[in-house]
Structure 1
Amino acid sequence: MTGKIIKGIAGFYYVQVESGVYECKAKGAFRKEKIKPLVGDDVEIDVISEEEMTGNVINILPRKSELIRPAVANVDQALLIFATKSPEPNLNLLDRFLCMMEEQDLPIIICFNKDDLADEGFQQQMRDTYEPAGYRVIFTSAKEQAGIDAIKDILKGKTSTVAGPSGVGKSSIVNILTEGQVMETGEVSEKIGRGKHTTRHSELLYLGDDTYIMDTPGFSSLFVPKVDPVDLYRLFPEFIEPAENCRFTGCAHHKEPDCGVKAAVESGEIAASRYENYLQIYSEMVEQQNNKYR
């Protein structure tokens, strides 16, 4: 029998199959081979008890991807949720998260929730900022349940990680997306220990139709990419083509003359906020690198 690991805790792996969720242990051979099953892994299981829905994970099928933050396998995309207002969108934090996902080569959709509170022109401003980088930008209102169908279409048939800072309505959107499924499978929720008083671990929520989401805990504003500072621009996709016009090889796109990236900022091809955030992250990376060798 094959299924997907939706949660792992204290040596137990909870595997979603068509008929429900099996509580499984991993066979000892995995430990010997230093292979650890991950949430999101597609696995084969041997059933021990149909009645108690228990089994053993006997094989991990090949992974198509593996994220480090959060530790999860086979994720297809990231849905990043910020608010239009209350709280005001922190675009520096947004750009750091985009860098983190770019570093892991994961497609990203940006969702601005609380669209009912947005100032006139906000939608166009955000589209002008992020669509040139190749990101899809959508707008929702969990309060009015507007734009939820668009999210469902984006998620359908995929495994997605959903992330965002506190207060943006991420939990409200996740609750809307999962409500019907949780109601239908209350015993499953009880079996895997979900609830408001439960310590949250990495966990996939099954929405049906081979669709899973991972509600990721908040992420840090202190994130700095692991790449060499000179390669940071590659995590800003809209910088890559203009960078080919730089006069100097290894241009940091900061103080150098005849810089293609700076020219693209001046012409409006690259949003000023994206460039300012690039410079801040770049400076932090250089400082971190310098401190390392002191």
Structure 2
Amino acid sequence: MEGTIIKGIGGFYYVKTDNGICECKARGKFRNKGLTPMVGDSVIISAKDGNGAIEEIKERKNELIRPPVSNISQAFIVFALKNPDINLELLNKFLVQCELKNIKSVVCFNKVDLVDNYEQHEAVKMIINAGYNCLFLNAKKEIGLDGLKEKLKDNVTVFCGPSGVGKSTILNRIVGRTVMETGSVSDKLKRGKHTTRHSELVEVHGGFVVDTPGFSTLDLNFESKEELQDYFPEFSQYKHECKFSGCLHYKEPGCEVKKAVDEGDIDLNRYQFYIKNLEEVIKGGKNKW
């Protein structure tokens, strides 16, 4: 049978199949290959007398280390418009991380009730200009959550974003029960020396959500200076028109990307963020965020 690992604990893996959830152990051959099954893996299993075994782990589309989960298709990047104020650089870091991992980004602006004319907020205009999908929420009053629920179908979704923006509240409201603690309790749990936290996929609204926050560490090491521009999708319609085929959109003449920035078609904050990281890559530094 084919299925998806939705939970793993103590060497047992719980695989959701068309026939229900099967408790499985992994074959020893995976250990010999240095391969460990992960939550989110698409697997082939065998089952006999109630005992299951993972026979094959299909190729992963992507994988995260924190939380340990594979085959994520979508990220809800949650930022509050106020309390705390938005850090544009951090928001761009999350977007690049998703691009690098081949994860579709949906930016969720929470606490919209705290800001007047929130659609004119600098961060909102930046995200819309870059072509990303964004949603506006007041999680405590459950405003905007229906839009989130509609995007869950047929996806494996992870929530990410800085602390204090409402990730736990949003996830709990979507699932309909407490899957993540909120506020000070959450901070204590995350800092506990002996706390073991296992990621789990929760099935809801025709898809799965990861029950822990994503991207607790942003660590991007780019292969080359040419690679970085691939993670800025708004560059794509301009970069092939540049005068030089290997244009980095930095100091080269005849650059259509720079022209688009000057004309306001590419957001200046996004471009400056790109240049800052390009210079870091050129200098040979590692992008550990």
TM-score range with shorter-chain normalisation?
A: 0.7 to 0.9
Distance in 2 between residues matched to 1:177 and 1:227, nearest whole Å: 38
Q: Are positions 1:216 and 2:216 aligned together?
A: no
Q: How does 1:119-268 map to 2 (within 5 A)?
A: 119-122=116-119, 125-180=122-177, 199-207=196-204, 209=206, 211-214=207-210, 215-220=212-217, 223-268=219-264
In structure 1, the residue corresponding to 2:220 is in which secondary structure? coil
CA contact (8 A) 1:27 1:56 kept: no
Q: Which residue pairs with 1:99 in the alignment?
A: 96
Distance in 2 between residues matched to 1:85 and 1:49, nearest whole Å: 55
Distance in 2 between residues matched to 1:177 and 1:79, nearest whole Å: 12
Tell me by how many angstroms 1:137 deviates.
0.9
After TM superposition, which residue ranges in structure 1, 4 or more long, deviate above 6 angstroms?
none
Distance in 1 between residues matched to 2:166 and 2:178, nearest whole Å: 20
In structure 1, the residue corresponding to 2:139 is in which secondary structure? coil
Q: Are positions 1:84 and 2:67 aligned together?
A: no
In structure 1, the residue corresponding to 2:284 is in which secondary structure? helix
Distance in 2 between residues matched to 1:246 and 1:254, nearest whole Å: 11
* Amino acid in the other structure paired with 2:92: D
Tell me by how many angstroms 1:253 deviates.
1.9
Tell me by how many angstroms 1:21 deviates.
4.9
CA contact (8 A) 1:100 1:225 kept: no
CA contact (8 A) 1:181 1:208 kept: no
CA RMSD after TM alignment: 2.9
CA contact (8 A) 2:130 2:267 kept: no
CA contact (8 A) 2:222 2:228 kept: no
* Amino acid in the other structure paired with 1:32: N
Change (3 A) 1:217 1:158: closer
Distance in 1 between residues matched to 2:114 and 2:24, nearest whole Å: 46
1:123-173, Cα deviation, whole Å (9 max, x unpaired): 564453223433111111111110111000001232112211111100111
Distance in 2 between residues matched to 1:176 and 1:19, nearest whole Å: 28
In structure 1, the residue corresponding to 2:226 is in which secondary structure? helix
1:251-272, Cα deviation, whole Å (9 max, x unpaired): 3322333321111111110011
Distance in 2 between residues matched to 1:218 and 1:68, nearest whole Å: 8
In structure 2, the residue corresponding to 1:288 is in which secondary structure? coil
Distance in 2 between residues matched to 1:46 and 1:179, nearest whole Å: 33
Query: TM (normalized to structure 1)?
Result: 0.80
Distance in 1 between residues matched to 2:87 and 2:93, nearest whole Å: 10
* Amino acid in the other structure paired with 1:37: P
Q: Which residue pairs with 1:287 in the alignment?
A: 283
Distance in 2 between residues matched to 1:90 and 1:148, nearest whole Å: 23
Change (3 A) 1:76 1:100: same
Change (3 A) 1:227 1:119: farther
Distance in 1 between residues matched to 2:283 and 2:201, nearest whole Å: 37
Tell me by how many angstroms 1:18 deviates.
6.6
Tell me by how many angstroms 1:45 deviates.
4.1
Tell me by how many angstroms 1:176 deviates.
0.8
Distance in 1 between residues matched to 2:171 and 2:7, nearest whole Å: 17
Distance in 2 between residues matched to 1:231 and 1:60, nearest whole Å: 33
Aligned pair count?
Answer: 272
CA contact (8 A) 1:14 1:24 kept: yes
Distance in 2 between residues matched to 1:62 and 1:13, nearest whole Å: 15
Change (3 A) 1:150 1:123: farther
Uncovered stretches (5+) of structure 1, i.e. residues with no partner: 183-194
Distance in 2 between residues matched to 1:156 and 1:47, nearest whole Å: 28
